[in-house]
Structure 1
Amino acid sequence: MTLQADVSDLWQRYDDDDVDAGTATADDYDTLDAFLDALEAGEVRAAEKRGSAEGTSAGSRPSAGNGEWEVNEWVKRGILLNFGLRPTEARSYGGVDYHDVLPLRETGDLGERGTRNTPDGTTIRRGAYLGSDCIMMSPSFVNVGAHVGDGTLVDSCDTVGSCAQIGENVKLGANTLIGGVLEPVEDAPVIVEDGVSLGAGCRVTSGFVVGENTVVGENTLLSPRIPVYDLVEEEVIYGRLPPERRAFTRMVESSIGDHDLFAGGAYKPAVVAMDIEAETRDATRREEALRE
């Protein structure tokens, strides 16, 4: 049987209440371990970009660029099985005791691929993938099922949530939060495509897709609930930021309007997306050069 078939069979037994943490066999745990190994090797992913953006199917989210991101539901189920079938155990990391169902990821393979994680607080959970030539600054955290592409910088105080898909040569500015989307399994995780630069303090949540080569200003919240005013295509969109944009937060008038509690009217956040200018690209390249 393939790994997908093994995980799917185990999930069915778990869903039917035929197996739990007390009755799981050694073979069951071998399947879970093999699954986590495949995640860490980048052989399986919680979501993948496939085909054309036309005809988006259930369980998929249109890409901000060409093609669409499709959820691999069986992969998310495999992660959930690791929580459902493993007991919480006492563990230790860097002299700190903690309790969890999963250990932290072994990092011996990172150095041989040119990936760096600085001391005193770079935490990578079991089942997370980091590509070649990545940099993780302290403190930062990458959760189970996350996929971080080659050449990407995870800066200080960053969190990459469960199943988040981060592309190649991405810059996550300091204190950036990439949200995790584990349940329901059919929901797409947060996607940050190749070449994106997120300024310090950005938040990307709830399966939002950030298109490739986009530069996002600091402290910008990207969420499907907040409108994106795309000044290039002259449209208002939700849940995605098109590629090749320069985006930042602006306050727009709220439907609440004038109110005694809001002198001059109430306002709400929105994201403005403009054509990325040559000088923005040049500034990004200069910053990338500092990491080489």
Structure 2
Amino acid sequence: MLVDERERFKDQEVVAAPVKSLRGQDEQKLKPRQSPLFQGWGENLSDEDQEEAQALFEKYGYNVFLSDRLPLNLELPYGPDLSMSMKRNALRAAEIWMDEYKHNVNIAWNIPIKDHGIDIGDVSERKELREKLKCKPFKWYLEKIYPQLDTWDNILAYGGMKNLDANICIDQGLIPGHTPIAFDCFNYGPQHTYYHSNGELYIGGLKSHKYNDNRCLADSGEDKFPDLYDCHEAVQKGMGIHWDFTQGKELKNRQTKRCLEIQKQKLVVQKCTGQKWEIQNIIKPF
């Protein structure tokens, strides 16, 4: 079921801007002021869809309407939805070339490790060719050619994270902003979570380079709402960023001993009451 974001952003400011109609006549059409979202795209959307697209762009920082929220009943202006073909090709390339790092493609695309339903076909000939050409292992590439790339070795689980008691998910909330929220589960980018072996829980994306910082779910211990900051910044503020978690059980901050829970449809940190959480995809047992 698609999530309706309009109610959350119904007060977004839009202004009228002239655009050319198909008949070459000027007409007034809603178009957000100075927005890079609509440069070369979106003139043919309805007023309502323009408002929704801009609201999502303001929240997430990229064109969620056109990409992550597919399928919507919207024909892409530049061609068909190629996401499944791209996922298939990415999984094929990973199977052939990436060795023990092939699961990084699953993490990047939020594809289950097993039973994902994508047929990558027979890659045996490509593997034989790689062996015949004596290509170096992918680990050599990471160490010698692109050492800045984060290998994601310590990611244990990823995907949407749902509260099983309230049937609602963690969402990164407004960007820019530092307050994660609870929202209906739709498991696209803003709701992607990543559980690290050290107990850090990243929300809304995973950085691909070692020199970039992920955004950690944090508990300041000072109020009942959780925070979302770059991990180093959260530590500097004295926040607890490490969480004890077992699939299907509570999510407890190690520093404050409080649990992430849902109270009246809001995301809170409070004395643990036994609420249970589940993350979509498990890489390694924990």
TM-score normalised by the chain length of structure 1: 0.29
Q: Which is richer in helix?
A: 2
Please tell me whether Structure 1 or Structure 2 has the larger radius of gyration of its CA atoms: 2
**Which of structures 1 and 2 has the larger relative contact order (alpha carbons within 8 angstroms, sep 6+)?**
2
Q: Which is richer in strand?
A: 1
TM-score normalised by the chain length of structure 2: 0.29
